Structure 1
Amino acid sequence: MPFMGQDWRGPGEKWIKTPLTNGWERTKLRPIQISSEAIPIKSSTSFDDDLPISNDEGRGTSSDELSDEEPWIPHCFVKSKSKEFIGCTSMSEAFHRLDLARAVSDIRRFSYVCKVVSILVEEKLRNLSATARKSLLSIITAIVVRASEEDLDISTARRLLNFFSEGLEGHVYGSPLLTAKHQLRVGSLLDAVSSVHPRPIEEIDNTGVTFLDLPRELISLVLSRLSDSKSLIEISKSHQVFEGIVDNEMTMWRRLVSFHFSPLQIEVARREKDLMTWRDTFFHLRKMHVLREVYADVIHICCHCKALFWNTLGHPCIRPSSPSVRVTPQQFVDMLLLL
């Protein structure tokens, strides 16, 4: 792949064109690209040429070219007047520097990224610039790739696509041609998601011990570890054994209520309706209170250099011992809208 030579952006630096941002990046600052094995969606649908991933262009530079460079750690700085740290100037740049499109392939970060995308497509899409909207669609594309290849979170991918499609209706920033292009691309992604049909558990060829062979008490204990009602309801649709446990055993619903709500909130709700089951209690409380958000990995902000970074990866700070603060998806979105 050809490199750009010296120019006004940085004399002597090597620049490389990348499909993720549809622009040029300095080689020593660019993140490691996704491997080509994680690329194709299992569908006959063809996508636009500017998808964030491709077999050849997604490889980036060779190992020899990056051997002398330090591994990239996803991070970005918020707006700062300091000369030491240059803050991000746009939402799309923050997406890229935090590597959100590739973060969806990590199970620890998937839920956090999906929540960020969900807030943006449901509430803020019409207020986003055309560039930010294009970057957001690239992240959704990565979610669709993961859902299609691993047969996971199909409903999540479909819901995000539907909200994105609805958000394109009416007045949005950018040219009508770009909006039409995004609508066409969303349609292609919806076709790809719709073509994925999970195999029933009975048809899976497994000669060993399966999850369904475990005692009912153990299955119930495992299901009770799920932290949201949506997962319980979805898994109850996959097999009659799961359906019987989710519908009839209230212990897991009681644990779910205790996890998300305070004892005082639970006491008030139970006092209002004496005959309410624990499942009814959960949905009753959910209407009045915010659910507790739990993520295996979250974005933090460094109290010293004001860098946003993934907690499990850290960031290159000149004061490594500096404390950091957890950033919720809503707080992260609010930060992005100020860029």
Structure 2
Amino acid sequence: MSFYLPQLFQLIARSQLTSLSGAAQKNYFNILEKIVRKVLEDHYNPRLVKELLQDLSSTLHSLTIHVGRCVLVGNVNIWLCRLETIVKWQQELNNMQIPKQMYTGLSFNDLPLYMQNKILCKLSDACDIINLGQATPTLHVLSENRTLWKKLCQFHFSDKPFCRNLGLTRADNVDWKLMYFTLQKHYPMKEQYGDTLHFCKHCSILFWKDFGHPCTANDPDSCLMPISPQHFIDLFKF
């Protein structure tokens, strides 16, 4: 499952639910159920879906209980039932047991330290780095490396205003981990997805990058424009 879809659904949960038609709302929850079932089946990245369900639960509580009247399409009892379903999904994800994998060959801990460090440097999600650092004392030391957090700051924030000199900073006393979480409060992180939607300006169609499409342009690559989840939502605004 691409990270794109949970991110798209999270944006809808935060601000777009009231603009969905009844049919769109029904499709939203049908697809969401498939996402949850997929995560429960293959245990792939449950954290993203947990965050999505938390945002959706908070939004629905506000709209159906605290607003004073329902601003969503359909009977309020339907949405209260959906809230109960979300709580059930959250409980299932929290109780999910990831089976221990049995390997007889080379393990991650058997790799040389420089290779383990290179792998950590390829991660772009701070939560993944912190969680991996809790696995062993050695990984904890590697996960606290200043250079690792400096690269993470450069990756996510070097193109932002007032942050363009991050790569030039050579001071030895900078706490780059603290710097990362400080910047995170003020700037959005760079988006990364397993697969992304693209728009072909020549053919005027949307398609997944990994699947491509039979473009008739002389230079198809020059016609492509990546579509972020927020941009995808904006396409439907009039």
In structure 2, the partner of 1:241 is 138
Are residues 1:220 and 2:220 paired? no
Contact preservation (8 Å) 2:199, 2:227: yes
Q: Which range moved further: 113-122 or 280-289?
A: 280-289
Distance (Å, rounded) in 2 between the aligned partners of 1:282 and 1:266: 14
SS in 2 for 1:166: helix
* Amino acid paired to 1:311: K
Unaligned runs of 5+ in 2: 64-69
SS in 2 for 1:276: coil
In structure 1, the partner of 2:151 is 255
Aligned length: 224
In structure 1, the partner of 2:235 is 335
Where in structure 2 are the equivalents of 1:154-303 lying within 5 Å? 154-169=46-61, 170=63, 171=70, 172-198=72-98, 204-247=101-144, 249-262=145-158, 265=163, 267=165, 275-303=173-201
* Amino acid paired to 2:20: L
Distance (Å, rounded) in 2 between the aligned partners of 1:197 and 1:241: 25
**Deviation >6 Å, runs of 4+:** 268-271
Deviation readout 1:276-310 (Å, 9 max, x if unpaired)? 31112222222333322223421111213321111
Deviation readout 1:126-185 (Å, 9 max, x if unpaired)? 332332222222332232223212222122221211221222222322222321332232
Contact preservation (8 Å) 2:10, 2:56: no
Contact preservation (8 Å) 1:226, 1:232: yes
Deviation readout 1:209-233 (Å, 9 max, x if unpaired)? 1111112221111011011212212
Contact preservation (8 Å) 1:161, 1:186: yes
- Percent of residue pairs bearing the same amino acid type: 25
Distance (Å, rounded) in 1 between the aligned partners of 2:5 and 2:103: 33
Are residues 1:324 and 2:224 paired? yes
SS in 2 for 1:168: helix
Distance (Å, rounded) in 2 between the aligned partners of 1:290 and 1:116: 15
Contact preservation (8 Å) 2:197, 2:207: yes
Distance (Å, rounded) in 1 between the aligned partners of 2:131 and 2:6: 17
Distance (Å, rounded) in 2 between the aligned partners of 1:189 and 1:337: 31
Distance (Å, rounded) in 1 between the aligned partners of 2:105 and 2:9: 39
Distance (Å, rounded) in 1 between the aligned partners of 2:104 and 2:211: 39
Question: As a proportion of its length, which structure holds more helix?
Answer: 2
Larger radius of gyration: 1
Unaligned runs of 5+ in 1: 1-103, 105-109
Contact preservation (8 Å) 1:270, 1:281: no
TM-score (norm. length: structure 2): 0.81
Deviation readout 1:89-130 (Å, 9 max, x if unpaired)? xxxxxxxxxxxxxxx2xxxxx111121111111222233233
SS in 2 for 1:309: strand
Distance (Å, rounded) in 2 between the aligned partners of 1:337 and 1:236: 43
Residues 139 and 259 of structure 1: CA distance in aligned 2, closer, same or farther (over 3 Å) = same
